[in-house]
Chain A
Amino acid sequence: MRRKMKGFTLLEVVIALVIVAILAAGTLPALSNINKQSFQTEIDLNLPSVGQAALNGQSSATSLYADLTDTTTRSVSLLTNELVKHSATVSSKGYTYAIDTLYADVGVGLGSLGAGSPFEEAGTASHEDTSTTPVIITPTTTHTEPTLGIANLLDSQVCSDNEKPKGDDQDKDNKNGDDHTFGPGYVQVNSKGDGFIDYGLIFPVQSSASGDNYVIVAIPGNTELANDCGHKGDCKGVAYSFVAFINKKQKSAIENKVCKPKSNENGIAKLLSTSTSLTAAESGQGNGGSYYFPNGTASTASIIYKYKFVAKIEKKLYWSMHFVIKFMDGTPLQNQWVRIYIPNSSGEVTTEIPAVIGEETATTTTYGRAKIPVSYDAPSGLLAWDSITFDLSENASVTVEVVSASKAYVFHATGPANPLKISLRQYNLPPQDLSITFYIDPIDNTKPATINNVQIFYWQKQSP
């Protein structure tokens, strides 16, 4: 009789292995995350401790713990209720942890209660706050005019001079040529008194967050038909004052294009004219992009008309514009111009564009940061620096850097505060020469910001 085989058949083993494999496959996603999870756990545990160390350790911890975290920052700010807030933020691999603590020197003993007093051994600690001569920091805001830097203009040229044929030594209309000047946020092309502009500019234009890319052209409403716009070859049948433009993504593609955009092969905008029936709110389209006429008519020479030129394709960052503009006879010299408002670094034109001739001469006054260093020599018998007080005006944001020997602390506060007190006692600054630097920033840069009546208080041994 044939003996019966014991054990599993191959099929059974295979089936068992398949079942085990299927079950194991279910755990793979969890296993694949183990590394990530353990790293996350490590970060979760490390960052709070690193933050706490940064909070209490160093005055400036930007580069501390570089082996543990990507960035560590620490700041000090003054709260209104005599509290000093110390903040630390640490980041690692996209995870950020922030931690604060508060200090106050009020209610802290300084010498008179005996035990634990740091000055007890000196035996002659003074209770009197002794003040140096007040330092008055008068308003020292800087006055700046925001201007479009020349570096932003890649090229410029009087076009008719460039294009005139041999033997024609003087352009018929553009006798004086043109030039350009800079104002707050704009470039202005001037006719130089001949009532005619034929000028080309190349400049970069920033894109806004939404990706729009545009410039705004402002021109007084006193242009007329330009039957002969400079040299005849320039106009190519366009019998209006006009602005022709092209834009490119690459700087190299436009560098030799000054004065080149001058025909319908590019975007070309006919300007409103008092001598034509061109209607307002008209818009046009060219290869370079679209442009929009302003609402209204050009019948009023005193009104400044604004044209918005938008790149056809977003993020065409380099523009060439060619202006061919004839002004009405008798137009005053100061009104013979065209302005190009170029967006700022955020891609937006924020400069206020005047609506009427005459207003455009208004200047904008802005106030920038003021930096005032102040030094104090350590007085004889100095025990400790106590505090700094000063009056902080409305609209002022001040950062105070205090350095004594190798110890440095930075404080930040906003006004108004009269007076504002920075207590130094809690920091145990060495009793040596003190160097203080005030950085004052206006919160609203159109208004001034000041600090004054700076006083330093310290403790010194009483004279025997």
Chain B
Amino acid sequence: MKLEYIRLINFRQFHKEQLADFSTADDLNVTVFHGLNGAGKTSLFIAINWCLYEEGGADIGMLVNKKAWAETAIGETVPMVVTIGFIHRGARYIAERAVMLKKAENVPLNLKAEFTLSRTKKTGDTKPEPNPIGVMNAILPSNVRPYFFFDGEKMDDLTKAGSTDVQEAVRNIMRLPALERAESHLQQIADEFRREVKKKGSHELETLITHEQDLREQKEKALKRREELKEEIRIGRAQIEDIDAKLRGSEAAKELQKRRDSIDRYIQDNEIREKQIVQIIQKLTNRSYTIFLAESCKKAFEILDQKRERGEIPSGIREQFIKDLLERKICVCGKPFIEHDEAFEHLRTLLKRSSSKDIENEVQHLTGNIRLLSLNTETQISELNQRSKELAQLKEHTERLYAESDDIKRQLKGISEDKIAELEKMRGRFTQKYETNIAEFGKTESNISSLDNQLIDIRKQRDIAEKKEKEIALLSQKESLAQKAADAVNLIKEEFFEETRKEIEATTKDVFSNLAWKQDHFQDVRLDQDFRLEVIDRWGMTTRKELSAGERQILSLSFITAMSKLSGEEAPLVMDTPFGRLSGNHLTAVAQNLPSLTPQLILFVTDREWDEASKTNLEPRTGQQYNLCFNEKTGCTEISEVFYE
């Protein structure tokens, strides 16, 4: 950034329009404004800061020119404008802060001026920037500005012990706040992911896997037991059949056993039949819900009838039939009609209604179906009653058969022949065992079925939990990445900070050794890790406290120019009262070196500062000089160019 010109209108003591160009040539990069105390040097310095950054205008009284203000009538307006033209990276910019002040009784102190920034390309194309403040900050950040535009008299503040300004300056110049924001943002993201992982994480999946394992073991045992029972049942049946065969072979028990065989067959047949009837009853009950629909069907019928009566649903009148009547223009009663008469229109309406043919069909279909529903109900109920009765009879018969079978048992046990009684007792034991096994088999089957259902459920739960677990794993991964990124930014920041500190220290030392006349006395300049500037003398002692005001200013100037160099920003050094505290060798050294330390140097000097030494050393590099001439009569300053003789 190099400043090209400044234009002031009614700003502070600059009445109406005042203009000054800044020298931008590489070999003539110095512009000097001369002025006595109170002539307007600081006002011009403030004008630059105010125009570009709206800084410096507070607490300095009226910004608007008092003469212009006084000359304006109440209700009239006064313009106050500062315009600065500058070049930045090949483009020309015009920055302007302007306000039209309407005169009232009170003096305007807190005025709000509008800032505009327009950019002219090399092609001459000029466009206003839509975000002027943002663009200005991108060209030279406002927090970096104080290290380029500064008051020389306040410069030695930087060397004071415990000054946080130095650290702040380094942070700003390095654009460290941006890195810190990135670090803080990444840290926040990592924390958020961590909280989420904590909230969602649980041992749910682990518990489910253990539970599933447990169920599988139970099922394994049940399957094994089922196979054992199958075998025991087979053996039991064989044992009973074996005894039955022996009984059948015995003369004394033969008849009874035959009868029992027959009863067993009956019982078996009955049980099969009972099952079939239960299934029939099941089907019948499933369809018997229509028993509750009598009311709804009746109501639906009534509604359909009403609609028909009102002609909302054509009753059997077919579309084609109406079309034929319309074509022949003869009514159903045989009377002819003409287009648009009453009969014609009536038939047209009927035809329109019959266009909802779907509805008509659906209604007719439904009407028939509802009738069938009622029939269905009657048939279903009748059959249900019949089957229920049949089932009851079958059950009763089966019970009688069981009683008869028990009676046979007793008779067989009562036979005096020992062998028969013994066989029957044994049969009784085998039967009991067989029936117990049958019951256990049924229970085991049901248990296996229940375990299968539980396993299906748990599989579903596992799928959900696994999905959740994956989400958690992904969150953990994100958390880890965010944390690593935050740590990496922190590390980069610290390393970058340290590296920059060393570079600033080396450059400050380099500049200081050129500017300080006691070069042999001052051996070193240090910027410690707490960013305290220190000067080491030839005896290796710290000497900052012993430095003169001029030496402190040189130290600060060295630091500022080091910062400007290392910031990577190309910007002018604009110094108000630059040599106020300097004299002799220091002044000469500064005047000699300063133009080479910056691309553009703009100085606001008093006559005392512009002595022979500064003039001799700076004038060869000076492209523009101005006098700030204060007119005591008007109380205003005029900027007048100094021409070389």
Q: Do A and B bind each other?
A: no
Which residues of A line the B interface, CB within 8 A?
none
Which residues of B line the A interface, CB within 8 A?
none
